[in-house]
Amino acid sequence: MVNFVTSSYKPELLKPLVEKISSIPEVVSVMNNPTLSFRQILIRQRFCTNSLKNVLVSEEMDQKLFLTFLWNGHHWARQVYGYEVVAQAIADACLNAKLNNIYNATFVQGDLNKIDESFGNNFPKPDVVISDPNRPGMHMKLIKFLLKLKAPRIVYVSCNPATCARDLDYLCHGVIDKNLEGCYKLKSLQAVDMFPHTPHIECVCLLELC
Ligand SMILES: C[S@@+](CC[C@H](N)C(=O)[O-])C[C@H]1O[C@@H](n2cnc3c(N)ncnc32)[C@H](O)[C@@H]1O
């Protein structure tokens, strides 16, 4: 699969290239993934091409978003707080926000596996938390924080159904040995085959506070 990530949707410009590439026998599909805003792609930083997430965030108009594991929701939200462990990703996010005249987003570099009891004291309670953790899923400290925060909605995006199921169970039913009570209900779950012909699957889950 070849995926063209472009800053706008102009298929006619890609057509000659697509025709050339399509003649390569190993190429079984060609995708064009237009980003809704310009985003600088640095080779040293992993780039997430998931425009589906952008569509999903567009429903969160005029809300306060808390993004764990960095997202691109700043166009639609009133206020955005983004957390990410990789310093370069934060630098890119700040640069991209500037390039796109985005002034409602704060990006903070931090390790969500090392948060303490005071985490969250310096930002207002969010309407929506969007979390897209990597394959190990959420650390217990983050689960604990979310169960205390009680944001009305959590959108959990996952590329690992096993850790996703574990974390949804924690958020909905609690963690008995940690004395944590669950307070969410799973409202919807959509699996998305982002990587056809591989065993990988992306899941997007909506949780609402009970
Ligand atoms: C599945 S990717 C999400 C990508 C993101 N949605 C985007 O559009 O760029 C997971 C992200 O979580 C970050 N991450 C991993 N462990 C973390 C931690 N302990 N604290 C904060 N961020 C972490 C990774 O650096 C990576 O950017």
Does some domain include residue 42? no
Torsion angle defined by CA atoms of residues 79, 39, 59 and 172, in that order, rounded to the nearest 10 degrees: -80
27 and 93 within one domain = no
Question: Using DSSP, how many helices (H) and how many strands (E) does the chain show?
Answer: 5, 9
159 as an active site residue: the answer is yes
139 and 117 within one domain = yes
Query: Which atom belonging to ligand 1 lies closest to the Cα atom of 86?
Result: 25
56 and 30 within one domain = no
Does some domain include residue 118? yes
The pLDDT of residue 139 is 95
Q: Is the CB of 156 under 6 A from ligand 1?
A: no
22 and 85 within one domain = no
Does some domain include residue 52? yes
The pLDDT of residue 76 is 61
* Annotated binding-site residue? 59: no
Does some domain include residue 93? yes
ipTM associated with this complex: 0.97
Rounded distance from Cα 109 to ligand 1 centre (Å): 11
Do residues 142 and 68 make contact, with C-beta atoms less than 8 angstroms apart? Answer: yes
The tokens for 112 are 């969500």
Task: Give the separation between CA 126 and CA 64, rounded to whole angstroms.
Answer: 5
Confidence of residue 111 (pLDDT cuts 50, 70, 90): very high
92 and 151 within one domain = yes
The pLDDT of residue 204 is 95
Nearest to 157 by CA among 187, 125, 192, 185: 192
The tally of domains found in the chain comes to 2
Q: Which neighbouring-strand residues pair with 105?
A: 80
Q: Is the CB of 115 under 6 A from ligand 1?
A: no
Ligand 1 pocket mutation pick from 51, 84, 201 by most atoms within 8 angstroms of CB: 84
Which DSSP category does 63 fall into?
-
